[in-house]
C-alpha cells in the first residue's frame, strides 16, 4: 500500500523560504509517476503548485514559477517543495500527491494527509 | 493558463436528491477533466477522470459527462456520506482546479 507523508516546519517567517518534504512508502519514487504539490488556504479551494517526474521533468504553475522548486531525492525516496519569499498569502495546508498515470501529468489518485504551514513573524 | 469556473459554489440538498455540478473551461479540454470529493480536514479523493471514467471503488451513483468546455458531475441519489465539497480539475495543459462546490444539507 502506497502512502505519502508531508513533513516540515509549521511556521515560516515572511520573506523566508518554505521547505517541505514528502516521504513515499510502498512505492519507488523512480517508478514512472509524476509527484506533485497542491495547497489549500484555510477555508478556500485547491491550488496546484507543480509536479516533478523522475527528477528529469518539472512543471510549475505559471504564476508561482519564479518562487517554486520541486525536486526528488531518490536515495531517500522522497520529493520536496521549496517556496521562496513567502508572504501571509502562502499560509495554507500543503498536500503532496501522486499522479495516477505513468509518464504523464494526470489527476492525483494518492494524497498525503496535508500539513499546515503558517507564514507569520 | 486554463481557467475552470465551477457552479454553483454552494448547493443545498436532501438525502435522495439528484445533484448536478457544472464546470466550464476557458478553452477546449477534450475530455481531460477530473472530479474530486473533499471532506473537512481530509485530502481530496479522486472520483472521476477523463470526464466520465469512475475511479475504482467509487459508488455508481456518481457520474460525469461532458467534453470540450462544459462538464458535469451528477450524484443520482444523494447519500449522507456525500455531503462534502467537490472540485473539478483540468489536465489538458498542466493542472487547474475549479473553485469548488459545497454540497450541504438542506
CB atoms < 10 A from the CB of B2, how many? 17
Q: Identify the closest residue of chain A to B90 by CA–CA distance.
A: A107
Nearest to A59 among B1, B42, B94 (CB): B94
What is the structure's pLDDT at A103? 79
Does the structure show a pLDDT above 80 at B48?
A: yes
| Tens of pLDDT, residues B49-60 | 999 999 999 999
d(CA B53, CA A94): 27
Cβ of residue B40 closer than 8 Å to a chain A Cβ: no
What is the structure's pLDDT at A42? 96
Sheet with B62-67: list strands edge to edge: B4-7, B19-25, B70-75, B62-67
CB contact under 8 A, A95 and B43: yes
Q: Identify the closest residue of chain B to A4 by CA–CA distance.
A: B43
- Three-state DSSP at B81 gives helix
Contact assessment for residue A15 and residue A74, using Cβ atoms and an 8 Å cutoff:
no
Nearest to A45 among B43, B94, B97 (CB): B97
User: In residues, how long is chain B?
Assistant: 106
CB atoms < 10 A from the CB of A2, how many? 13
Confidence of residue B13 (pLDDT cuts 50, 70, 90): very high
| Tens of pLDDT, residues A5-56 | 999 999 999 999 999 999 999 999 988 899 999 999 999 999 999 999 986 8
**Which 56-95 residues of chain B touch chain A by CB within 8 A?**
87, 89, 91, 94-95
**Which 52-111 residues of chain A touch chain B by CB within 8 A?**
59, 61-63, 95, 97, 100, 105-109, 111
| Tens of pLDDT, residues B52-96 | 999 999 999 999 999 999 999 999 999 999 999 999 999 999 999
Helices (H), chain A: none
Mean predicted confidence (pLDDT) in A65-84: 96
Amino acid at each position: 500500500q502506497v502512502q505519502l507523508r508531508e513533513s516540515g516546519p509549521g511556521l515560516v517567517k515572511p520573506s523566508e523560504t518554505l521547505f517541505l518534504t514528502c516521504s513515499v512508502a510502498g512505492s519507488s519514487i523512480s517508478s514512472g509517476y509524476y509527484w506533485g504539490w497542491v495547497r489549500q488556504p484555510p477555508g478556500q479551494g485547491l491550488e496546484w503548485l507543480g509536479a516533478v517526474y523522475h527528477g528529469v521533468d518539472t512543471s510549475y504553475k505559471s504564476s508561482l514559477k519564479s518562487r517554486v522548486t520541486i525536486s526528488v531525492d531518490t536515495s531517500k525516496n522522497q520529493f520536496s517543495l521549496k517556496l521562496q519569499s513567502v508572504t501571509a498569502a502562502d499560509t495554507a495546508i500543503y498536500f503532496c500527491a501522486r499522479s495516477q498515470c505513468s509518464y504523464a501529468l494526470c489527476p492525483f489518485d494518492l494524497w498525503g494527509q496535508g500539513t499546515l504551514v503558517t507564514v507569520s513573524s | 493558463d486554463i481557467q475552470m469556473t465551477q457552479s454553483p459554489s454552494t448547493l443545498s440538498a436532501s438525502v435522495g436528491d439528484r445533484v448536478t455540478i457544472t464546470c466550464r473551461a476557458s478553452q477546449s479540454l477534450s475530455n481531460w477533466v477530473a472530479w474530486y470529493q473533499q471532506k473537512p480536514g481530509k485530502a481530496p479523493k479522486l472520483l472521476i477522470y477523463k470526464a466520465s471514467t469512475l475511479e475504482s471503488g467509487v459508488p455508481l451513483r456518481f457520474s460525469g459527462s461532458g467534453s470540450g468546455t462544459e462538464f458535469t458531475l451528477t450524484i443520482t441519489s444523494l447519500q449522507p456520506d456525500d455531503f462534502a465539497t467537490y472540485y473539478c480539475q483540468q489536465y489538458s495543459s498542466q493542472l487547474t482546479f475549479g473553485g469548488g462546490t459545497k454540497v450541504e444539507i438542506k
